[in-house]
Amino acid sequence: MRMSHHRFLVLAVVLALVSVPAEAQSDEDGALVPVSIGPVPQIDEANWTLLIDGLVEREVRLSYEEFVALGNATEEAELRCVTGPSASAVWTGVPLSTLLDLAGVREGAVKVAFHSADGFSTDLTVEEALADGVLLSYGMNGAPLPPGQGFPAQLVVPGHWGYKWAKWVVHIEVLDHDYKGYWENRGWADDARITGPTDWRYHAVLLVAAAVVGAFPLIDGGRVALGLKPRAARWHRWAGTAFAVLLLVVFAWWAATTLDFRGGLFFSWHGRIALLAAIMAAGTLMTGIALMRGKGRARRWHSALSTAAILITVAALFSGLILALPIFA
């Protein structure tokens, strides 16, 4: 049975709306927890200890009081999750270099692994661990860490994606060999530094540009559908082509970066909506070429596909905006 362009448009929008999140978890307060892998641990500071061992001169075990007494360095840094959410805070804690100096890192050490109370783990190179600004925090914005944010100890690694910011840390292990943490062992990049190619804000700007460019041929096509004269057929073609090409380029860039950085694709509903928009954009290009070759039967499909492409692009923008909302006040 042939599908009309109206039914196709409805199906496209429905597919976008039913694409559900695949990743974000929530704690009991409904706040997003970017790096937890289970329920938020409820830790009593009186029973919590921090163990530092491995390739060190001396094993160190600290109570919460002893840990807090080691220092109160502060660092203003932004925690950014690879799925989008981000927020800045002033973190208070002990420089990681102070903790490692206390244990005495031995020659030959290459990695520092961090183990959390919920079973999560991550890693840094020794150089990254000793860098300025890297803290094991016990406070945020002048108050103790909330349980959902990693109380009693969260790693703070400025300039790195959130999965390196281990929460509820209970064990620091210095190693003489390579180590892959929970997400790193599942294909995510071990080097989690935030760089231009991995920064979602760049492709977000280009996606906005694509939506703005795509608005012109959509409006002009609407005039034609209403029986009005198009403003400029040439500009319609150029703007429509620019919209589709830009959208496809942005999606390809995002997909390639995500595949390289995270070892897979479509972890979230935002990515699935973007895929749908890219498919509609490709269809818009093909039907537009058909129209330029005089195949008038492609007009309705072109109208349906281009309308779906711009609407789903806007949906992708809004879903990205939702994902980018701060993860804590």
**Helix ranges, 115-199 (H):** 126-129
Which of 52-66, 97-111, 210-224 bottoms out in mean pLDDT, i.e. has the lowest? 210-224
Backbone angles phi, psi at 219, to 5 degrees: -65, -40
- Closest by alpha carbon to 271, among 256, 253, 246, 251? 251
Pull the structure tokens for residue 24: 């974000």
* 131 compared with 238, residue with greater pLDDT: 131
Place 98 in a pLDDT band, splitting at 50, 70 and 90: very high
Model pLDDT for residues 20-64, shown as the tens digit of each residue: 333 333 333 333 334 567 788 999 999 999 999 999 999 999 999
Rg (CA), the chain: 25
Mean pLDDT of 217-239: 68
Q: CA 86 to CA 165: how far, in whole Å?
A: 13
pLDDT for res 318: 83
Model pLDDT for residues 252-272, shown as the tens digit of each residue: 888 888 887 877 777 677 788
- Closest by alpha carbon to 40, among 93, 117, 114, 115? 117
Model pLDDT for residues 194-215, shown as the tens digit of each residue: 887 777 778 788 888 888 888 8
Backbone angles phi, psi at 63, to 5 degrees: -80, 170
pLDDT for res 265: 74
CB atoms within 10 A of CB 90: 13
Model pLDDT for residues 298-314, shown as the tens digit of each residue: 878 888 888 888 889 88
Backbone angles phi, psi at 143, to 5 degrees: -135, 160
Domains of the chain in start order, with CATH, are: 5-24+196-323 (1.20.120), 49-186 (3.90.420.10)
Judged against a pLDDT cut of 90, whether residue 105 lies above it is answered with yes
pLDDT for res 275: 87
Judged against a pLDDT cut of 70, whether residue 237 lies above it is answered with yes
Q: CA 78 to CA 273: how far, in whole Å?
A: 27
pLDDT for res 45: 93
Q: Is 69 left (phi over 0), alpha (psi -120 to 50) or beta?
A: alpha
Task: Name the amino acid, one letter, at 314.
Answer: V
Q: DSSP for 88-123?
A: EEEEEEEEHHHHHHHH-BPTT--EEEEEETTS-EEE
- CA 40, distance to chain mean position in Å, is 21
Model pLDDT for residues 82-94, shown as the tens digit of each residue: 777 788 999 999 9
Contact 153, 174 (CB under 8 A): no
Judged against a pLDDT cut of 50, whether residue 244 lies above it is answered with yes
Model pLDDT for residues 147-178, shown as the tens digit of each residue: 989 999 999 999 999 999 999 999 999 999 99
Q: Where are the beta strands (DSSP E) in 96-223?
A: 111-116, 121-125, 135-140, 143-144, 154-156, 169-175
